[in-house]
Amino acid sequence: MDSDWAKEHLQVIRTLMERAAVYRRALAPMMLAIGVMGCGAAILGLVLGIEAPRAFLGYWLLVAGVTVAVAFLLLRRQAIKDAEPIWSPPARRVMQAVAPALIAGFVVSLGIILRAGDAPLQNAVGTRRMALGWVPIGWVVLYGCAAHAAGFFMPRGIRLFGCTFIAGGCILFLAGVPETPSPWFGHGVMGVFFGIAHVAYGLYVSFTEKQNRAA
């Protein structure tokens, strides 16, 4: 009796179960795009001298918005290529997992922007320290929480990636921020975590995907 049909059945089951449970769409290009934009935004922020608390927070929220839009376009492109719905059950689960941490980060930042915009506070050391120091570190930790939560529905070490962010952010929290943080600190933290770390992870995923395809 031929057993090829049994192998094929097992392969079909595996594929369908992965499709239902694991979100693996465009991970490498998305991470690379986020990383490149993060690095570019950090450099641009330093070149433009964005250091007022409100400007710094607004600038990075804008970068986050553009990055999300680019990531969405990449996901959409791959979904069309694979002839699959973009809003698949795994995609929905990933969104539900990342939403609380990202929304919390956005709302807290928005609150600080609104209050940091008051003229007497614009150059106050406390506000500056908050905006250029504590808030970016908070973003790193919250983003790490979001990535860790998404990792339950995604492959390739996303949870470990999230843990790295949480650990890195916590270490920075414990180390503390300078009394008068320079733009180098704020943009540097953002560039390292949202730029370099993403590029490194994107390259890792890209490399391992190629290896798996070759195997």
Which residues are at the interface with other proteins (CB under 8 A)? 1-3, 6-7, 9-10, 12-13, 16-21, 85, 88-89
Least separation in angstroms between residue 83's CB and other proteins is: 9
Residue 102, CA distances (Å) to 14, 20, 99, 142 in order: 32, 24, 5, 7
Residue 130, CA distances (Å) to 7, 54, 62, 97 in order: 58, 11, 19, 27
Would you say 9 or 115 has its CB closer to other proteins?
Answer: 9
Are 33 and 74 in contact, with CB atoms under 8 Å apart? yes
Least separation in angstroms between residue 5's CB and other proteins is: 9
Amino acid letter for position 182: S
Residue 112, CA distances (Å) to 64, 69, 101, 138 in order: 16, 24, 17, 12
Least separation in angstroms between residue 92's CB and other proteins is: 9
Are 19 and 52 in contact, with CB atoms under 8 Å apart? no
Would you say 13 or 125 has its CB closer to other proteins?
Answer: 13
DSSP state, residue 86: S
Query: Is residue 142 helix, strand or coil?
Result: helix
Would you say 11 or 123 has its CB closer to other proteins?
Answer: 11
Least separation in angstroms between residue 91's CB and other proteins is: 11
Question: Which distant-in-sequence residues (6+ apart) come within 8 Å of 97 by Cβ?
Answer: 146, 149, 150, 152, 153
Would you say 14 or 115 has its CB closer to other proteins?
Answer: 14
Least separation in angstroms between residue 120's CB and other proteins is: 47
Would you say 9 or 76 has its CB closer to other proteins?
Answer: 9
